[in-house]
Amino acid sequence: MSAVLIKARGLGVVRNGRQILQHADLTLEAGKIVTLIGPNGAGKTTLVRAVLGLIKVDQGSIEKSSDLRIGYMPQKLHIDASLPLSVARFLALGGKPRVNMDEIVQLTGISELINQPMQSLSGGETQRVLLARALLRDPQLLVLDEPVQGVDVTGQSALYALINEIRNRRQCGVLLVSHDLHLVMATTDTVVCLNQHVCCQGHPEQVTNDPAYLALFGEITGNTNAPQVAIYTHHHDHQHDAHGNVIHGGKNKLIHRHGPGCGIDHGDSCEHHHHG
């Protein structure tokens, strides 16, 4: 059984009298990948900051393993164009590494970039450098905020393959945050769909024969022969009333379009299984 790194239960956050996160659970384990998805404003950043201890919660509890080392990869990096900053110097600014620098450089495939200016890198190259810097802390948990944003489709597949390789080789837990509600990393162990509360969670569905899927991701890249991106289908265990509030319970399976409180509609109906 995998070691639990962080276990959060019933988290709630109130700001300026408004409940921006409620009844949120999240478990992160060593060697497991959790993808947190939800629309803009769903509270993903709030939940991540809460479990990392960066903000205080108003409800709920958070348990962490002792001396937990966390590597964080930010969503964006802004560097002044006039700043003479090479990749090597950028990595050095992260402090004394806990692991061999050359090993991480080779693992992330940035050896040819090491003397390049940070400003000259492509989106995919920048993400690999940010990932390398996070790994220099020898983290037990990697937190990746929108890691494929600004990266083309081929680059996304390659980056996902790299994240999976890192998980397999270093057995760290991974929390991957994304605003894409349907396309997730295929090797994700658990997808958590959030919109102020946890709408649903489960394994991603790998629809590798879907024509739309193949049109986007049919060409496999990376170090494995398996697709790196999967389509996630939402199966929620609740419904919403006319005001968007969550209603639990009931014994019937029904087709439900998400109410305004959930905001995960996108024109698609989802199948809900209610448990009495």
Q: Are 36 and 192 in contact (CB under 8 A)?
A: yes
Higher pLDDT, 112 or 198: 112
pLDDT > 90: percent of the chain: 49
pLDDT of residue 211: 53
Question: How far lies 21's CA from each of 14, 89, 180, 210, 229, in Å?
Answer: 7, 39, 19, 35, 28
Question: What would the mean pLDDT of 171-182 be, rounded to a whole number?
Answer: 87
Range of weakest confidence among 25-39, 73-87, 110-124: 73-87
Yes or no: domain 4-77+84-273 corresponds to CATH 2.60.40.3680: no
Domain ranges for the chain, please list them. Answer: 4-77+84-273
State pLDDT tens for residues 8-53: 999 999 999 999 999 999 999 999 999 998 888 889 999 999 998 9
pLDDT above 90 for 110: yes
What is the average pLDDT value for the chain, to the nearest integer? 79
List, in sequence order, the alpha helices (H) in 109-251. Answer: 123-135, 153-170, 211-217
Residue at token pair 């959060």: 8
Q: Are 19 and 12 in contact (CB under 8 A)?
A: yes
Range of weakest confidence among 5-14, 50-59, 188-197: 188-197
What do you get for the CA distance between the two ends of the chain, in Å?
30
pLDDT of residue 236: 59
Question: What would the mean pLDDT of 186-197 be, rounded to a whole number?
Answer: 87
Q: Give the model's confidence band at 155: pLDDT under 50 very low, under 70 low, under 90 confident, else very high.
A: confident
